[in-house]
Amino acid sequence: MPVVAGVDTAVFTVPTDAPEADGTLSWDSTTLVLATVRSEDVTGLGYTYAPAATASIIADLLADVVTGLPALDVPRMNEAMHRAVRNAGLPGVAAQAIAAVDIALWDMKARMLGLPLVHLLGAARADVPVYGSGGFTTYDDDQQERQLRGWVETDGIPRVKIKIGESWGSCEERDRLRVAKARAVIGDATALYVDANGGYGAKQAVRVSRALTDEGVTWFEEPVSSDHLSTLAAIRDQVTLDVAAGEYGYTLPYFEHMLASRAVDCLQADITRCGGITVWLRVAALAQAHGLEISGHCAPHAHAHAAAAVPNLRHLEWFHDHVRIERLLFDGALAPDGGAVVPGADGAPGIGLTLNAERSQPYRVG
């Protein structure tokens, strides 16, 4: 039985192509922490979007834990990593560090078996629907229109999402105008989603939801902070749009609390935050047990194969920043033609990505 020979890390910081902000945060660069695992002559890669310190957690707390363990026993190593970060604190960067290594371990296992990961996991569906996501509050009308047309007209994606809740909900009128302009650009046939990133108050969210409903918006993500489950549940009871949340889930119990609180109509989970593929699949099962679908949050190429293995998948977020970064740093990126990706279609083993040394080098910071 082959064992894990070692774990390496690399950190890349990529500037955004324009200033970006949502309801509650602004940024001008994005950092990707890469984990690479080795066993005999096979390597696997995984990643998370997290502070550079995540690489130190991998090196200091996780690498020795998985090194020497049987390379095919990914859930065993995932459990060992979870136990190893007890005193560091699992929610947050430790869970992200585990996620990067877990994804790399699944990638390596599939490569050892010569299979696309979706075939190792077992497909539950033929393809993975995606939705275009960006629409930052920093965009002017022309930028927003260009981005929306790119998804709808160039890629053929029939669902898109923009950010609202600008400056902690203090620009409600501009939010409404931007939603109306988005609808005018995409027409009636394209699904329109919004994400307030927790920027609104409870009553404000209900008030705004009426304008959103008038524009045919069907998805209201984090109308208020995901920390307030009873408030989310109250909003969910008062609006006809689907309420979605879950992107800040780092542990399995977090998702169970959210589901048990009846806080969401569709559960979101980020495979690069919640402990990797091993845990994300369990989160999907939790959602299924509650009669709900799951949507993959950001990092589309880290999710795609696992998403295809889940029967109750709604869709995967085709997030502007991460699509751009994954196309830049890796070879093997997927195409969302017609609004879905088909992981494994090219027969490439694992999650289908290889680091492009030449293109990634200028962005390497650690």
Give 360's contacts (C-beta < 8 A, 6+ positions apart): 12, 328, 329, 330
Binding pattern to Mg ion, positions 61-80, x when CB under 5 A? --------------------
β 26-39/6-21 pair status: antiparallel
In angstroms, give the least distance from the CB of 29 to Mg ion: 19
Residue 195 near Mg ion by CB under 5 A: yes
User: Which residue is listed with tokens 């010569």?
Assistant: 114
Closest CB to Mg ion among residues 107, 247: 247
Three-state DSSP class for residue 300: helix
Closest CB to Mg ion among residues 107, 195: 195
**CA 101 to CA 46: how far, in whole Å?**
6
What DSSP element (H or E) covers 55? Answer: helix 53-57
Residues 228-247 that bind Mg ion (CB under 5 A): 247
In angstroms, give the least distance from the CB of 84 to Mg ion: 29
* Nearest position to Mg ion, beta carbon: 195
In angstroms, give the least distance from the CB of 193 to Mg ion: 10
Closest CB to Mg ion among residues 221, 293: 221
**CA 168 to CA 224: how far, in whole Å?**
10
In angstroms, give the least distance from the CB of 268 to Mg ion: 7
The full DSSP string for 205-243 is HHHHHHHHHHTTEEEEE-SB-TT-HHHHHHHHHH-SSEE
User: Which residue is listed with tokens 């894990």?
Assistant: 4
Closest CB to Mg ion among residues 247, 326: 247
In angstroms, give the least distance from the CB of 298 to Mg ion: 8
Residues touching Mg ion: how many (CB under 5 A)? 3
In angstroms, give the least distance from the CB of 22 to Mg ion: 7
Closest CB to Mg ion among residues 102, 317: 317
Q: In Å, how far from its chain's centre is CA 26? A: 18
Closest CB to Mg ion among residues 195, 321: 195
Residues 139-158 that bind Mg ion (CB under 5 A): none
Helices and strands (H and E) in the chain: how many? 15, 14
Residue 293 near Mg ion by CB under 5 A: no
In angstroms, give the least distance from the CB of 247 to Mg ion: 5
Residue 326 near Mg ion by CB under 5 A: no
Closest CB to Mg ion among residues 9, 24: 24
In angstroms, give the least distance from the CB of 164 to Mg ion: 11
Strand-by-strand arrangement of the 42-49 sheet:
6-21, 26-39, 42-49
**Could you tell me where the beta strands, DSSP code E, fall in the chain?**
6-21, 26-39, 42-49, 128-133, 159-163, 191-195, 217-221, 242-245, 266-269, 293-296, 313-319, 330-331, 340-341, 354-355
Closest CB to Mg ion among residues 43, 268: 268
Candidate ranges 56-64, 131-139, 195-203, 332-340; the one touching Mg ion (CB under 5 A) = 195-203
In angstroms, give the least distance from the CB of 197 to Mg ion: 6
Identity of residue 194: V
Binding pattern to Mg ion, positions 196-225, x when CB under 5 A? -------------------------x----
Residues in contact with Mg ion by the rule CB under 5 A: 195, 221, 247
